Amino acid sequence: MRPKFKGVKLVGGYHIPYREAASYKRRIKRCRRAAKEAMASFCPIALAQWQDSQDGEAVCGLDAKGNLIAIIHLDSDGLDLIDRGIKEGNLAQLLKEYNDNRKDEEA
């Protein structure tokens, strides 16, 4: 199937310029792995879901009953947050705060 736009490749629901696609895929892989490890420190189950879906991939933390208790999307904002947590060495704390803030906004 041909992409709808010239000069880009569809990567995880996003059109990425060909010259950036390989590094973008490596970044997603690195961030996915780091987010799963960090989320596993405060969630009984941590897994990546919805890869290649139209809504985009996310790393989810579930409780023992399988209820969603934490999430981070692997979009540009999520990747930036994960990279910052990796660099600062506090990824688990950042993910906890991110999800606590989301819960406050929803209430």
pLDDT digits (tens, 9 = 90+) for 77-106: 999 999 999 999 999 999 999 998 876 666
* 8 is a domain residue: no
Question: What range defines the domain where residue 102 resides?
Answer: 31-106
Q: How confident is the model at residue 67 (pLDDT cuts 50, 70, 90)?
A: very high
Q: How confident is the model at residue 61 (pLDDT cuts 50, 70, 90)?
A: very high
- CA distances 56 to 39, 60, 78, 79, 104, Å, are 18, 12, 11, 12, 23
Say if residue 107's pLDDT is above 70: no
* 16 is a domain residue: no
* 56 is a domain residue: yes
Is residue 75 within 8 A of residue 56, CB to CB? The reply is yes
* 53 is a domain residue: yes
* 101 is a domain residue: yes
Say if residue 5's pLDDT is above 90: no
Q: Tally the domains of the chain.
A: 1
* 9 is a domain residue: no
- CA distances 7 to 3, 4, 35, 100, Å, are 9, 10, 30, 39
Say if residue 54's pLDDT is above 80: no
* 55 is a domain residue: yes
Comparing 10 with 36, which gets the higher pLDDT? 36
Query: pLDDT value at position 23?
Result: 93
* 14 is a domain residue: no
